[in-house]
Chains A and B, each alone.
Chain A
Amino acid sequence: MDLVAAIVAAHAGREGPLLPILHDVQAAQGHVSEEAIRTIAHGLNLSRAEVHGVVSFYHDFRTQPDPRPVVKLCRAEACQARGVEALVAALPPQNQVRIETVYCLGLCSAGPAALAAGRPHARLDAAKLAALVEAAT
């Protein structure tokens, strides 16, 4: 059985298993491919349109692979109040790291904040953010 089918089988019997499955597939393969969508749809007895609709709704799921490391940078109001937009403007151009905008990491009293490799970072300034991006590559 292929990996996606195994993930589907592992969640079989749960109530509303689609999101947990998509998370696992994305974690395992880095994205949710059309092939994976077909397998999931078949396994859960959903139409592939439905699964596609769900995958495309949530920003966490990607349909194309992108192996670059990710830095999730909060650009919501509290971090804006603490100057995140100036940091973004000052970031040196690079293409090795995917810098994803998120809206709020819950670190609003200590922004600007980011999440990289599962670890949160707060009180960022231009140097710290640049170092974070550098470290992620």
Chain B
Amino acid sequence: MITVRISDDSLAIACGADEVAAAFEAAGCTVERVSSWGMHWLEPLADIAGQGFGPLAPEDVPAVLAGTSDKGIGCIEDHPFLARQQRFTFARAGKTRPLDMGDYIAAGGWAGLRAAERLSPAEIIARVTASGLRGRGGAGFPTGIKWQTVANAFGNRKYVVCNADEGDSGTFADRMVMEGDPFMLVEGLAIAGLAIGAQKAFVYIRSEYPHAIAKMHAAIAASADLVAPFEIEVRVGAGAYVCGEETALLNSIEGKRGEVRAKPPLPAIEGLFGQPTAVNNVLTLAAVPFILAQGAEAYAAVGFGRSRGTMPIQLAGNVRHGGLFEAGFGLTLGELVEAIGGGTASGRPIRAVQVGGPLGAYHPPSDFHVPIDYESFAAADGLIGHAGLTVFDDSVDMGDMARFAMAFCAAESCGKCTPCRIGSTRGVELIDRLRAAPTAGDAALLEDLCETMRFGSLCALGGFTPYPVLSALKHWPQHFGLIPETTP
């Protein structure tokens, strides 16, 4: 009897994994549904005794079983895409069945929590602080310091809130954690609860991720006894990108409009239901079990400058080898999209890479030398955000993308602050006007508007929308009609 391992990650399913699995079963194989390795261009990827085949369609199954398929990629773990990675958070990716407790334990699961249970809250926080872990949601705030603030705050009740509202186009690492290794997130939440003295955690998941929601529900139910009396509850968003902003997310859990709150007070002091709350991103919490199990030093040993540990980088958009690439900070943008990503999927030259989601800047190839770390990208007028890299080939009109950035902001603005509420709509209109009849005055007005939004907005939605707009304007003025289009 042949055992075939095929992912049940929603990307694999979207690419036909269920049909391929059914074909293997029909052919008499035992099929195990595991997490995804993250080599998305190969999905659906079948793993038969460590040998990989992909991307498969049901009609490829007979050839695979007959040993005649040309879709073989050899030993999966030796694949260069994987071999170059350093997997801490995604160590189990592709190897375990997401909701199989036995698989999780066998692969080292719960070791972090067991270790944390032997420590005092202060010791847990000290280890997280020592690891250099910074929030993976984009702002890069040191996690240990945030936890310490919550631990010190006075409150009748404290909360851990997992921000699983990752809605940035070009990112999917959170989704892969929740779908592929949900117990790891549960473990991270439980450790956070111990550290800050919280009784309850909420995992706020965007409604666009139904599979992640289902897996998290199941994993929480299966591990309830292991983390008790700590309680974890899934909350489902309702179609509001802005709820990825932590204070809007807290309002949403409370059952309010997802409007951004002014800070201070910080959520760490006055967060969910007015109580001290640690709001952490999925990847941040997912990194915690490793730190507790393997030690802060093991985590801190990897990285670049003040950006310690690994970063799950997501290669997306028009890229040949799209998927998840976890590595220490410090690889350059060019290495990632060209050497690792293999250039565009279309085979055309890369025109731009948007780094950090819809609020990230568009980088031309001239930025390819910039290493992936928080500080270097800030210096290059960008941000790494969630470390999603969206590749565009030379068919893209960057004027369209600048307009889209404003339109996206207008569609998702909570409407509380004026620069974002009115500015994003005016931005769309202004870019249209500029492109229809370019004038220096309107170009200057667009820059002024971006300045108003950047420094005037209440949160990053309005505040960072100028990144894609201004980067497009700066690097591709011809797409706004401001200089003549030249053919290279």
Within the complex, are A and B direct neighbours (CB within 8 Å)? yes
Task: Give the interface of A toward B (CB within 8 A).
Answer: 15-20, 22-23, 44, 50, 53-54, 57-61, 72, 74, 76-82, 102-111, 113, 115, 118-123
In the complex the two chains form, is B14's CB within 8 Å of A109's CB?
no
Please name the residue on chain A nearest to B257 by beta carbon: A57
Chain A residues positioned under 8 Å from B256 (CB to CB)? 18, 50, 54
In the complex the two chains form, is B208's CB within 8 Å of A102's CB?
yes
In the complex the two chains form, is A104's CB within 8 Å of B317's CB?
no
Q: Which 10 A-B pairs have the closest CB atoms?
A: A109-B322, A18-B255, A76-B169, A81-B317, A58-B238, A108-B316, A59-B239, A122-B14, A120-B14, A60-B239
The contact of B172 among A60, A82, A107, A118, by CB within 8 Å, is A107
In the complex the two chains form, is B169's CB within 8 Å of A110's CB?
no
In the complex the two chains form, is A19's CB within 8 Å of B252's CB?
yes
Q: How far is the CB of A102 from chain B (nearest CB, A)?
A: 6
Per the 8 Å Cβ criterion, residues 372-416 of B in contact with A are 388, 390-393, 396, 401, 404, 408, 411-412, 414
In the complex the two chains form, is B13's CB within 8 Å of A76's CB?
no
Q: Which of B317, B354, B358, B401 has the most CB of A within 10 A?
A: B317
In the complex the two chains form, is B235's CB within 8 Å of A20's CB?
yes
Task: Give the interface of B toward A (CB within 8 A).
Answer: 10-11, 13-15, 40-41, 43, 166-172, 174-175, 200, 207-212, 235-241, 252-259, 273, 314-319, 322-323, 345, 354, 358, 388, 390-393, 396, 401, 404, 408, 411-412, 414
In the complex the two chains form, is A20's CB within 8 Å of B317's CB?
no
Chain B residues positioned under 8 Å from A119 (CB to CB)? 13-14
In the complex the two chains form, is A109's CB within 8 Å of B358's CB?
no
The contact of A106 among B10, B239, B255, B317, by CB within 8 Å, is B10
Chain B residues positioned under 8 Å from A50 (CB to CB)? 256
In the complex the two chains form, is A107's CB within 8 Å of B10's CB?
yes
Q: How far is the CA of A53 from the CA of B174 in the complex (A)?
A: 30
In the complex the two chains form, is A108's CB within 8 Å of B314's CB?
yes
With A53-B257, A77-B390, A103-B169 known to touch, is A109 a contact of B207 (CB < 8 Å)? no
With A17-B255, A18-B255 known to touch, is A105 a contact of B208 (CB < 8 Å)? yes
The contact of B314 among A18, A103, A109, by CB within 8 Å, is A109
Query: Can you show 24 pairs from A to B with CB atoms below 8 A apart?
Result: A17-B255, A19-B237, A19-B252, A54-B255, A57-B240, A58-B238, A59-B238, A60-B239, A77-B317, A77-B401, A78-B316, A78-B388, A81-B393, A103-B241, A104-B167, A107-B10, A108-B317, A109-B11, A109-B314, A109-B315, A110-B14, A115-B208, A121-B14, A123-B14
Q: How far is the CA of A50 from the CA of B256 in the complex (A)?
A: 8
Chain B residues positioned under 8 Å from A74 (CB to CB)? 169
Q: How far is the CA of A76 from the CA of B408 in the complex (A)?
A: 8
In the complex the two chains form, is A109's CB within 8 Å of B412's CB?
no
Q: How far is the CB of A137 from chain B (nearest CB, A)?
A: 21
The contact of B390 among A16, A22, A58, A78, by CB within 8 Å, is A78
The contact of B11 among A53, A60, A103, A107, by CB within 8 Å, is A107
Q: Which of B253, B322, B390, B401 has the most CB of A within 10 A?
A: B390
Q: How far is the CB of A18 from chain B (nearest CB, A)?
A: 3
In the complex the two chains form, is B316's CB within 8 Å of A103's CB?
no
Please name the residue on chain B nearest to A82 by beta carbon: B318
Chain A residues positioned under 8 Å from B255 (CB to CB)? 16-19, 44, 54
Q: How far is the CA of A77 from the CA of B169 in the complex (A)?
A: 6
Chain B residues positioned under 8 Å from A118 (CB to CB)? 210
Q: Which of B211, B238, B318 has the most CB of A within 10 A?
A: B238
Please name the residue on chain B nearest to A104 by beta carbon: B169
Q: How far is the CB of A133 from chain B (nearest CB, A)?
A: 16
In the complex the two chains form, is B14's CB within 8 Å of A107's CB?
yes
In the complex the two chains form, is A23's CB within 8 Å of B208's CB?
no
In the complex the two chains form, is A110's CB within 8 Å of B11's CB?
yes
In the complex the two chains form, is A109's CB within 8 Å of B319's CB?
yes
Q: How far is the CB of A132 from chain B (nearest CB, A)?
A: 11
In the complex the two chains form, is A120's CB within 8 Å of B318's CB?
no
With contacts A19-B253, A78-B316, A81-B392 known, what are 20 further pairs, Cβ within 8 A?
A: A23-B238, A50-B256, A54-B256, A57-B258, A59-B240, A61-B239, A77-B170, A77-B317, A77-B401, A105-B209, A107-B172, A108-B171, A108-B388, A109-B11, A109-B41, A109-B314, A109-B322, A110-B41, A111-B317, A120-B13
With A103-B169, A104-B208, A106-B172 known to touch, is A82 a contact of B317 (CB < 8 Å)? yes
In the complex the two chains form, is B171's CB within 8 Å of A106's CB?
yes
In the complex the two chains form, is B238's CB within 8 Å of A60's CB?
yes
With A16-B255, A81-B318 known to touch, is A106 a contact of B11 (CB < 8 Å)? yes
Q: How far is the CA of A103 from the CA of B258 in the complex (A)?
A: 17
Chain A residues positioned under 8 Å from B259 (CB to CB)? 57
